[in-house]
Amino acid sequence: MLFAAPPVTNSQIEAKVSALLGRMTLEEKVGQLVQYSSSEELTGPLLGKNPTLAELKAGRVGSLLNVVGAKATRNLQEIAVKESRLGVPLLFGLDVIHGFRTIFPINLGQAASWDLVAIEGSERIAATEASAAGIHWTFAPMVDIARDPRWGRIAEGAGEDPFLGSAIAKARVRGFQGNLDQPSNILACVKHFAAYGAAQAGRDYWTTEVPEITLRDVYLPPFKAAVDAGAVTLMSAFNDLNGIPCTANGFLMDQILRKEWGFKGFVVSDWGSIIEMVSHGNAADDREAAILSYRAGVDMDMEGRAYLKYLPDLIRKGVLKPERLDEAVKAILTAKARLGLFEDPYRYCDEAREKQAQLRPEHLDAARNLATKSCVLLKNEGALPLRAGQRIALVGPLSDARHDMLGSWEARGLPAETRTLKAALEQVAPGKVQFAEGCSIEGRQRDGFTKALEIAQEADVIVAALGESREHSGEGHTRSSLGLPGIQQELLEALHRTGKPVVLVLFSGRPLVLENVLPACEALLLGWLPGTMAGPALADLLTGVANPSGKLPVTFPRNVGQIPIFYAHKPSGRPQPEGVVREQYKSNYLDVANTPMFPFGFGLSYTRFAYKNAGLDAPEISMGGRVGISVSLVNQGDRDGEEVVQLYVRDRVGSVTRPVRELKGFQKVFLRKGEAKTLRFELSAADLAFSHADMSFKPEAGSFDVFLGGDSRAPKVGEFILRAN
């Protein structure tokens, strides 16, 4: 082994990394900047042959992705450590997005839980399982703010709001990395830097136009939060940003990330994004693309195969600075040292640990708990919870769809280990469930309608499991229409015409347009794509064993024409008067209301919560002061339940236009039936800061409105003045 003793302090790590750096040849240094993928499991187009053993032995590869398993990673690690000149260990990376073997709800669904402890715990479990299978590094969390549900990758993020997104980003980084002092910790990679979620028309890999003030106030805060939480790596985005591909955007990587934020880790390109700059039209060829990315601050080339080919010659000829190479290599070696790979290159390659770490009972319990918390009750006209003894007609192509429950990016999750709604309902209501698929997810065949309607006529209640498959969302899966795929809408309407109450369990990786769906059901439970424990979680909610507590992390539009629609929009000079259907020469549509179908933060419960005695403890504060906001929350229903109490603020007058309201705090509170609890929030002047016309970030004196309630339509509860000192 290269290092005889474990690195204990940062100074020891730095000294040993510097010593190693001094022994490396130019080719060995460049090799640390090279990442190849195994061809066995691809997450992008393979751009060339796999690395040869000769390249590994020559120290010309720093990292591999999509190599999984303690045995497989050990075999390759032994070649790198024992047969290369300096024995520098490899980094093994994998997209561990929402679980490794135990699959949790998709990330957008997890965000609907508003439960930071549960979200952090899910990543701790994912890291535990992945690390036992030889993985050092995950390409997560994805923290892109997304306000266009046509974009398939909205499923991977936390939704539309930078405050909620920042809180979740911190939780995910903590969950993956811990203190990087245990072999169950893995490196987080925050992606995609930056503004990838603003892709025009919701098309993946597409262009973006984001003003700097919006970039700083909306799209960058979750990245900053993740860096502050200790994220070791970031990934550049596929998109261009105001004309410069993010993979060569020095403003992002040098100015903001390193100079303004003080980031000391390393940046990896997205898959092939360096050479894709030729297609963008910003580079004439791969050689020029390598130059631009290197200068801008991309430290590692993921499956682009440009750095290894061109950097040695470019540095020798003086086209590129060798100091920049040393900085990149030092950051990569430091990450390897922090993982303990120089002390023990095989500490993540224990086959016995790999077997015992997967699908542990406590992992499955956590997955079930988070899936339960993630589901959002959008409508209920008394059909839920189901009553004991009811005859249930379970209809729909997603009732028993094991693979679809895992969503996109299922890592090592197996459909055979997934528990479906059909299996769970049959277990909790033995002899009371009849099942018919009705139709396929996307097909046009109506042959299955007959059986579905027959069992519906014999039932007391219909549970319809409809929505998107796992292939409808995720990377490369943009939709231009957001209704139910195929003929599922026809099936739903046919079921509703039976006169039996219809409970729709809706599966999706994004907000869907529900204008025609809502009239055809008495209750709607949004399940997202819930993961390995989908069935038990949904059955608990449908039968009332659990009480829905999820709240939307993203706005649901009435139709596609409203997109982008989000709660924190800027005010208009001609706003539509509240309560007026339409007034000419005001900002509105001819054919639809301005309001969404469901607002950000919305979600129903089986119990009723009341907000009482809300108020502020001061009418004004100084720049160094704080204002407290308190409210009494009362559970007035007959069931225990959880409520997400949300605090919003509006800056009435700003030197630049400010959103009509912004989320500034939230608390998820459990109350037993009849219980009351007083909650307190605090706001400081720093919480009210924003980017100004000169890009300075600071609070501004003025008047502020405060709103408190259960979603983004929360009523005003007070106001205060922020005084200039």
Per-position DSSP letters for 688-702, written without gaps between them: G-EE-TTS-EE---E
Q: Which residues make Cβ contacts (< 8 Å) with residue 497, sequence separation at least 6?
A: none
Q: Write out residues in the chain with pLDDT < 50, as ranges.
A: 1-7, 42, 44, 46-47
What is the per-residue DSSP string for 633-658? EEE-SSS-EEEEEEEEEEESS-SS--
Query: To which residue do tokens 């469901």 refer?
Result: 598
Any idea what DSSP says for residue 621?
E
Query: Given this model, what pLDDT does residue 41 score?
Result: 52
Cα–Cα distance, 61 to 93 (Å, whole number): 13
Contact (CB, 8 A) for 166 and 224: yes
Count, in order, helices (H) and strands (E) of the chain: 20, 26
The residues facing 349 across adjacent strands are none
Residue given tokens 């919006």 in the structure block: 214
CA distance 271 to 276: 9
- 719's enclosing H/E stretch is strand 716-722
Cα(36)–Cα(324) distance, integer angstroms: 22
- Structure tokens belonging to residue 662: 């912004």
**568 Cβ neighbours under 8 A, 6+ residues apart:** 160, 161, 659, 660, 661, 662, 663
Phi first, then psi, for residue 471 (nearest 5°) are -80, -5
Confirm if 104 and 110 have CB atoms less than 8 A apart.
yes
3-state SS of 214-283 is: HHHHHHCHHHHHHHHCCCCEEEECCCEECCEEHHHCHHHHHHHHHHHCCCCCEEECCCCCCCCHHHHCCC
* Tokens, residue 540: 């608990």
CB atoms within 10 A of CB 428: 17
Which residue from 209, 189, 187, 213 is spatially nearest to 198, judged by alpha carbons? Answer: 209
Distance CA 217, CA 386 (A): 44
CA nearest to 102, candidates 402, 399, 468, 406: 406
Nearest-10 crossing angle of helices 221-228, 162-177 = 30
CA-closest candidate to residue 619, choices 724, 725, 718? 718
pTM of the model: 0.96
Burial of 144 (0-12, 13-18, 19+ CB in 10 A): buried
> Hey, what CATH topology would domain 609-722 get?
Immunoglobulin-like (2.60.40)
Domains of the chain, by residue range, sit at: 10-354, 609-722
Question: What stretches of 85-222 adopt beta strand conformation (E)?
Answer: 91-94, 137-138, 189-193
Enumerate the active-site residues.
270
- Provide the sign of the torsion angle of the four alpha carbons 541, 547, 553, 554, taken in this order: positive
Give the three-state DSSP class for 419. coil
Rounded Cα–Cα distance for residues 520 and 514 (Å): 10
Residue 350 in tokens: 């224990």
CB atoms within 10 A of CB 137: 26
Burial of 613 (0-12, 13-18, 19+ CB in 10 A): exposed
Structural fold of domain 10-354: TIM Barrel (3.20.20)
pLDDT at 577: 84
Closest by CA to 245, choosing from 263, 269, 225, 217, is 269
Distance from C-alpha of 436 to C-alpha of 491, rounded to nearest angstrom? 11
CA distance 18 to 326: 9
Q: How far apart (Å, rounded) are the C-alpha atoms in residues 663 and 618? A: 20
